[in-house]
Amino acid sequence: MIINKSKYFPFVLNFKKIFQTSTHTLTERKGFIIWMIDEIGNVSYGECSPLPGLSKETIDETERNLIDVQKKLVGSAIQLELSTLTALLSELNMFPSLQFGIEQALLGLLIQRDENFIRNFFGEPKTVIEVNAIIGLGSTESVLSRIEEKFVNGYRTFKLKVGKDNFEEDFLLINKIREKFGDKIKLRLDANGKWNIDDALENLKRLEQFKIEYIEEPCGHLSCLLKLSAFSPIPLAADESLHTIDDALKIINESKIDFIVLKPIIIGGIISSFHLIKEAEKKNKKVVVSSAFESAVGRSALTFLASFTHHNFAHGLDTAEYIEKDLCTIAFEAKYGKINFNSKDYPPQFNLSLS
């Protein structure tokens, strides 16, 4: 396969309302859509959108990197092999968000050229992917109302943002959630690194009674999380503390942390994320694929990745509802707490209007 042309287009996605965590406030997402065409006319897209506060690269740095990489790719010949593609990509020295977008576009072209490419190099994907509902910080009434709304619509796993200045407020809220919904829902917590290790351990001991599926980032650094994992009465999950692929491998191979919440657009691409999923399985650990509020283009690649996890824990892919107007029709939409995935429909034919 030869890359005949490649272009990119900037985009801005406005949020319907502010999304608030204990450490970040999001009102919009900026990024680039990468467009590629091969020598026989196949077209593919990828998304490159660094997330302020989590990505190490800025939007301006990413654009300069993107311009340089596109110049190197146009005219390149790429064999229909994952190992060859990986070798080529390693030479391009890309930021993680750009690695994600370039890989998405290139894989889309390779899959179009070979109907067996997915099964030959990734394996057999599953067709139903469970997803969790995200519940941001808010009043007790608004949180209970939001859970009720999503519960009626078929959701059974809920990720609740915690980490208020007064832990008692978090505790009382979780207690009210359990009083109202009992064991009918699975509850995850995300503290976004708000607590120090001593407070985290005390808080986790108090929360143990509520049958929490896991808690993400109870304290703020990877070293803290590793120490806490030896004593925590609740399963832990690493998310923001993972800055590199090596961080994720350390969690998988050297810790008692049970869950890796993986944001591929932040940690470094699709292929490396796929390999992390397989490495985690060897250690009986679970990778939960999570959106960083990408557009419908980027989320399609996340759904693709999640289809290769061999567990039934819900993934964090239900972020479309926070976006005021997406770039195109959603290819794999979350409905009733699930995404139906058909690999024959990947990559989607996005109805994008780019200029």
pTM of the predicted model as reported, rounded to 2 decimal places: 0.93
> What pLDDT was estimated at residue 174?
96
How far from chain centre, in Å, is Cα 106? Answer: 20
Quote the pLDDT of residue 24: 67
CB-neighbour burial class of residue 102 (10 A; exposed 0-12, middle 13-18, buried 19+): buried
**Beta-carbon contacts of residue 183 (< 8 Å; ≥ 6 apart):** 211
CB atoms within 10 A of CB 170: 23
Own/partner pairs, 346-351, CB within 8 angstroms, 24+ separation: 346/111, 346/118, 346/300, 346/304, 347/44, 347/45, 347/104, 347/107, 347/108, 347/111, 347/112, 347/300, 348/300, 350/45, 350/296, 350/297
Domains contained in the chain, CATH given: 3-121 (3.30.390.10), 128-345 (3.20.20.120)
Split the chain (355 residues) into runs of 10 and give each run's mean pLDDT: 95 85 75 96 96 90 96 88 82 94 96 92 95 89 94 96 90 96 96 90 95 93 88 93 88 91 92 95 95 96 97 94 91 94 94 77
* pLDDT score of 54: 84
What's the pLDDT score for residue 26? 80
Say what the pLDDT of residue 325 is. 93
What is the distance of C-alpha 274 from the center of its chain?
A: 12
